[in-house]
Amino acid sequence: MTYTYEYPRPAVTADIVLFSRFEDRDYVLLILRKHYPFEGCWALPGGFINMDETLLESALRELEEETGLEGIALKQFQTYGDPGRDPRHRTITVVFTGRCDNLPEVTGMDDASEAKWHPVDDIPKLGFDHDIILKDILKLMGTSTMNS
């Protein structure tokens, strides 16, 4: 069955904020975007949900597709949907958080040209509204050590 609506509908994504601790320092996992928008900018791993998967399944799939990590426990954090957060169209994202130990090896794959752990006290400028998302999570954790 196909539905046609008079008004446009937003797209929905899942983004992942994954932390790791190594040698008494906190890190967050970022990807270097390979495509428009924000090509060549660091961002949180994530992407569009598929019609046949849950939000959590989407987050786990995107994390594996872009970084090679699998089997990570994720928890839903918050939803972001301000107009203009994605220059392509109206996009609402559901953000998931997780934690793993000792900086597991990651590889940029799919639409990520690179994946890398960044110290939370040395975060580059991020694409989309990912700066806001990360600041919100760090504030909740009682950490405000993000540059920018």
Clarify whether 114 is annotated catalytic: yes
Q: Strand, helix or coil at 117?
A: strand
DSSP tag of 138: H
Q: Give the pairing of strands 11-22 and 46-48.
A: antiparallel
Identified catalytic residue from 6, 70, 105, 114 = 114
- Do 89 and 12 touch, CB atoms closer than 8 A? no
- Do 115 and 68 touch, CB atoms closer than 8 A? yes
Angstrom distance (rounded) from CA 123 to CA 116: 11
Tokens coding 117: 């752990």
Q: Which amino acid is it at 136? A: D
**Omega before 104 within 30 of 0, i.e. cis:** no
Q: Strand, helix or coil at 26?
A: strand
Active-site residue numbers?
114
